[in-house]
Chains A and B, each alone.
Chain A
Amino acid sequence: DVKVTQSSRYLVKRTGEKVFLECVQDMDHENMFWYRQDPGLGLRLIYFSYDVKMKEKGDIPEGYSVSREKKERFSLILESASTSQTSMYLCASTLNGGYTIYFGEGSWLTVV
């Protein structure tokens, strides 16, 4: 079974803190994604990576950065967390050319 693992399920951080969300997949997928899911807004793409060290901005990259130093790991970084970044964050991966997307369980981030 493909597994996408997000390191933290529930986090509470203070405004201005630097936050790291880690995601690891074990099926050698080329493509990895970070989304945030908010009620009524669906899944909005933050960043996408199609290979090691390669990244592409999604719809809402402001306030976020990403790192992909190894194929299996894709990290989302909030340089200075704000309350507007309180949300559920989903990591996902797919094979290049594949159509099935595998999601992690999600990370619930609350910024106070």
Chain B
Amino acid sequence: GDSVTQMEGPVTLSEEAFLTINCTYTATGYPSLFWYVQYPGEGLQLLLKATKADDKGSNKGFEATYRKETTSFHLEKGSVQVSDSAVYFCALKTNTGKLIFGQGTTLQVKP
């Protein structure tokens, strides 16, 4: 069935470090791919999306490229800030509209 697998956390980085959070997926057809972020005490917010192969989603300095050949959608940021500390969820949406999340990766950025 359809599924999303993320790298396990927590990920602890110093401010200004480079961030990668790996995400791979299994799906039939051509899903859309997303990254959501959950800041402490808040609900999930859409961070970025990509709807077809080779699309790059970007927002707030974060980027992810839809790689069909490797079924991946890794999240990257060149220089993280303390305010980026949150839980990050990779997700896919099937052609029928079903939305499936990965298990989440906690990012902690230290000053």
Contact = CB atoms under 8 A, between A and B. Distances in A.
Interface string B31-72: 010101000000110100100000000000000000000000
Interface in A1-55: 30-31, 33, 35, 40-45, 48, 50
B99 A40 contact: no
Interface residues of A, number: 24
Given A99-B32, A100-B46, A101-B44, A43 B101 contact: yes
A30 B43 contact: no
Interface of B: 1, 3, 6, 32, 34, 36, 43-44, 46, 49, 89, 93, 96-104
Interface of A: 30-31, 33, 35, 40-45, 48, 50, 56, 58-59, 92, 94, 96-97, 99-101, 103, 105
